Structure 1
């Protein structure tokens, strides 16, 4: 059986094959051959970006920003939070947290981003604000993520909530997913989301904030 030289395949075939690869595999192809590196930059491969379930360091994530652009519509990132994790990351904090600089780069590079899934990510609320997210977002998922360094008085002071004025910065937001976030969420946070963000209700009046045990606390059920 004769072998097939990958570089001998037409670009249309290679792009079709690359479409089934994840961002990390595509990135690794860049160092194999200049022709493959050029094809990896094709915008069709970076419309819906899912980094998979393996957590990546912030330094490594920054290497993918150059592939993103107005063509990018959704991004999914899995972080370092585990069921046994505390609210604060251990070890080298900066490499395990989603930084404001990274979110700002997404805002600058991806003006048409519609969905951002930050699953099980550490987020330092004292330095990273949701106001740095792209204004085009329609869906924000924080499933299992841990916000730390939150103000202690946000239970009674709405201005201290991480969701304060979210409707101003994300005017077309339609869905917020907060499963597994009960360790840091407060009823005030959720009340603020539902009372200020009118876009979180569809035409039937259904509230598009999805979470678990907190639903009865704020009357979502």
Structure 2
């Protein structure tokens, strides 16, 4: 038989429930004092924290409350915007457009060719142009560009020569305007590859105020769909003081040292400037580029070759390079002469408009061209004002 122990009558120990509850409440109060709410910080402190977040994180923070939504739209946070932390669909990208500011100087986006990423449309670029009117850098990675009708990059400071290869792959591009793209200079290799394998539907090409020369313009002679071509010499190359400085620099570079040696033959050149300056002269379009447009090329094939060394060639076959050229503007190029007029009169059968203002064509050359091409409207420096 078990004996039931009586309940102890001794007082409870000091570590009772009430005492523990008091200590827990005291600890909780201390935690509240040492851990303030983030919204208790000032706007300057919060902006200093937000500047370390990626744009996608700023978007998430803006959904927390009204105050954070206002702070995340502060223009200092959107001066340089980089969305390349992860691929972004076009619909998601449009949601971020409201955060872009006129002060935005750089914008970088990254898509996904292998996913279901939509193509960038003309409306997207128009929105970027409107919202970021001081934009200097635009980085687009792994996005399709929907440029079926036209692509206008006028006065674009980030456009470089190798970009021609990318643009030439747009399958249905009809209009391309690169006027005042001052970084577009010597690019014979890029222009040759782009015109040979791309620009299959290009009709309108604007290259005014660029530093392209004969070789680059001549590459577009293989673009058979071309109907409008605009060329104009940059104002910096038309400045007489600028040209004089370049001429002086060229003379200094080409000054040859004098050697007195009976075994050394020297050839003294009276006019040192007779040499073509690779940096200046090649930027000026001449008759060579114009004569490459609308020209007929000879293509003869070998029919038979006898063992005696005789080669029988096929009869000449004429191929017209630019049969559709309708409008040609060539302004302020001093190396364009009457030779270009003679060539265009013979080969540009569909030409409707010609502007040769500021070139070296003569009044007699203009009159002769008009007599042969009565249906072509000609604009020149000899027009009456």
Structure-2 residue corresponding to 1:68: 100
Q: TM-score, normalised by structure 2?
A: 0.37
1-structure distance, mates of 2:211, 2:151 = 16
Q: Which runs of 4+ in 1 moved over 2 A?
A: 1-5, 144-149, 171-176, 187-190, 195-200
CA-CA distance at 1:174 after TM superposition:
3.1
Mapping of 1:147-166 within 5 angstroms? 150-151=171-172, 160=174, 164-166=176-178
Contact 1:74 1:115 (C-alpha < 8 Å) held by counterparts: yes
- Report Cα offsets for 1:112-164 as digits up to 9, x if no partner: 1111111111112315x431x5x56421487x97886514xx8xxxxx4x6x3
Structure-1 residue corresponding to 2:157: 138
2-structure distance, mates of 1:108, 1:125 = 19
CA-CA distance at 1:30 after TM superposition:
0.9
Structure-1 residue corresponding to 2:118: 96
Mapping of 1:205-216 within 5 angstroms? none
Partner residue of 1:10 out of 9, 24, 42 = 42
Structure-2 residue corresponding to 1:186: 194
CA-CA distance at 1:71 after TM superposition:
0.7
1:103 partner SS? helix
Mapping of 1:115-130 within 5 angstroms? 115-127=137-149, 129-130=150-151
- Report Cα offsets for 1:163-190 as digits up to 9, x if no partner: x3212xxx255379xxxxx9xx724679
Q: TM-score, normalised by structure 1?
A: 0.62
2-structure distance, mates of 1:29, 1:71 = 21
CA-CA distance at 1:105 after TM superposition:
0.7
CA 1:146/1:165 → structure 2, altered by over 3 Å: closer, same or farther?
A: closer
Q: State the Cα RMSD in Å.
A: 3.8
Higher RCO (C-alpha 8 Å, min separation 6): 1
Structure-2 residue corresponding to 1:174: 183
2:109 partner SS? strand
- Report Cα offsets for 1:173-221 as digits up to 9, x if no partner: 5379xxxxx9xx724679xx9x766269xxx95xxxxxxxxxxxxxxxx
1:63 partner SS? helix
- Give unpaired runs (5+ residues) of structure 2: 1-30, 200-204, 213-245, 247-278, 280-385
Structure-2 residue corresponding to 1:198: 210
2-structure distance, mates of 1:30, 1:187 = 47
Contact 1:138 1:172 (C-alpha < 8 Å) held by counterparts: yes
Structure-2 residue corresponding to 1:217: none
2-structure distance, mates of 1:70, 1:78 = 21
CA-CA distance at 1:4 after TM superposition:
4.7
- Report Cα offsets for 1:7-30 as digits up to 9, x if no partner: 122211111111111111101111
CA 1:145/1:53 → structure 2, altered by over 3 Å: closer, same or farther?
A: farther
CA 1:21/1:80 → structure 2, altered by over 3 Å: closer, same or farther?
A: same
CA 1:36/1:122 → structure 2, altered by over 3 Å: closer, same or farther?
A: same
Residues 1:107 and 2:129 aligned together: yes
2-structure distance, mates of 1:23, 1:60 = 12
CA 1:66/1:41 → structure 2, altered by over 3 Å: closer, same or farther?
A: same
Contact 1:115 1:137 (C-alpha < 8 Å) held by counterparts: no
Structure-1 residue corresponding to 2:239: none
